[in-house]
Structures are given as structure tokens and as C-alpha cells.
Amino acid sequence: MARELATVKAHVSDERNGARSDPSAPAEELRLRFADAWGEMSAAWGVAPAIGRVHAYLMVRDEPLTEREIREALGLSHRAASLALTDAEAWGIVERVAEPRRVGRRGPAGTAYVAVGDHWQWFTRVIAERKVREGDPVVDVIARTAAEAADLAADRPDDTELAALRDWLATFNAFVRLFDRAVGLIPKLQPRELERGMRLLGQIQDETVLRLVHLLGGLPDEDVLDLIDALSRLSPTAARRATKLMSGVVRTVAR
């Protein structure tokens, strides 16, 4: 809220001084090209290009804009802009705020829109929404098909083709559920937790990650699961002590 108020005050101050954005300025041209590219990429995420363009433009403008300002900048019709903003709100990537040019004036405040400023926050919202809209229905269909194949195979024990199909669907269903669970964990993380995890991963060399994966692959599942469960139950203080102790032990054993 403090960021939004600061943005509103700065916007009002700029407008009083005549410092409105020039649509022909180089910065605006870059913003529009970025919005167009983001709209094209959004289709791969299952988001309509118009929603992606509106979201990108609000991100790079980084100030409250009215529906009219958005549609005029992007060349959208009133209906297209309204639908895109409504859908962007539903996705959780755009929020409504008071229209800045109504601040201090009589009458009801108008409506303006801003992009959710925390990139990790809107990212997790998109993941969660896509899972509900697209992932969950697919998982349900695969699970029902696998169950139906199992029932049919039980009724026809001599049908080898049906038995093979049952086995394949059971394996595929297990794979999809594992992937779906991994995707479902992302929205449950706090934005700062996800950001820190990704940042730390980015600081680890690929060779180190691959060595760790290969190492875990050589250990029994029970040992790995017991270690993870034990670590997850430690307090932050105990975890720091255990980490330092473990690092020393590992260095000693590796000599």
C-alpha cells in the first residue's frame, strides 16, 4: 500500500508539472515492444495474448493506469481491454486501485489498475491458477481412465492387450501425480522463500547439482527420506549447528 501511495503521489506531481508519458518516446516504444513479446509468450503459458500484453504494459509502466489509458496505448477496443483486465485480475497478476487523477477531487474515485509488484507473488498465482484450470482436470481424467482400465482388465484376465494398457496407464498416472504434486508445492511457498531457493540454486554450479543427484541416486530411499524428515523437524538454530557439524564430518570422510 505504501508503494502504491508513493506511486500515486509521484504520478499526480508529474501530471501537474506536465511530465506525462510521451507515446512516441523511445521508452514507450520499448514498453510496447516488450508488451507485444510478452503477449506472444503468454500463449505458451495458457494465458490469452491480450492478458499478457496488458500485464506486461502495466509492469513496465509501474504506475496506476485507467482502462482508457491502457487500451489507447495498446490499441485495444474497450471490450477487449475490459475483458483482459478482468481476466488479469482473476489470474491474480493485476490489482485495482483508486484512479490517481481523482485524488483530492470531489466525487467518487475512478478505477485504475496496477500490476502486482512482487514478481514471485504473481508467478506463484499464475502457477496456482493454471493448475486449477488445466492441471487438475487432466489429472482427474488420467486417474479415471487408469481406474477404468484396471476394472476392465480384472473382468478380462485373458486379454493381454488390455492388461498391457492397464499397466501403462497405471505407470503414467503415477508419473503425472508426482509432477502435479511438485507443481502444486510452488504456490504453497511464500514468495521470499521461493525467491531465496531459486537464488541459491542459481549460485550452485551445474556440476555440483549433478554430483548431488548422482550421490542421492546411490543411496537407499529409506536413508534419504529419514534424513530429509529429520532435517525438516529441526529448529533454525539446531539446523545451523547440524549443518556446520555435517559439513565438517563430510570434509573429514571425503579426505
* Residue range 192-231, pLDDT digits in tens: 999 999 999 899 999 998 998 898 888 999 998 998 898 8
Q: What are 102-110's contacts with CB under 8 Å, separation 24+?
A: 103/8, 103/12, 104/12, 110/66
Asked whether residue 173 carries a pLDDT value surpassing 80, the answer given is: yes
- Please write the tens of the pLDDT for every residue from 112-167: 999 998 889 888 888 888 888 888 999 999 999 999 999 999 999 999 999 999 99
Are 43 and 83 a contacting pair, CB within 8 Å? Answer: no
Name the CATH code of domain 2-117 (choices 1.10.10.10, 1.10.1740.10, 1.10.10.60, 3.30.160.40).
1.10.10.10
**pLDDT for 251:** 77
- Four-residue CA torsion sign, 87, 89, 93, 95: positive
Considering the entire predicted model, what is its pTM? 0.69
CA distance 68 to 73: 8
Helix (H) or strand (E) holding 170: helix 160-185
17 or 163, greater pLDDT: 163
**pLDDT for 67:** 93
Average pLDDT of the chain is 84
**pLDDT for 55:** 94
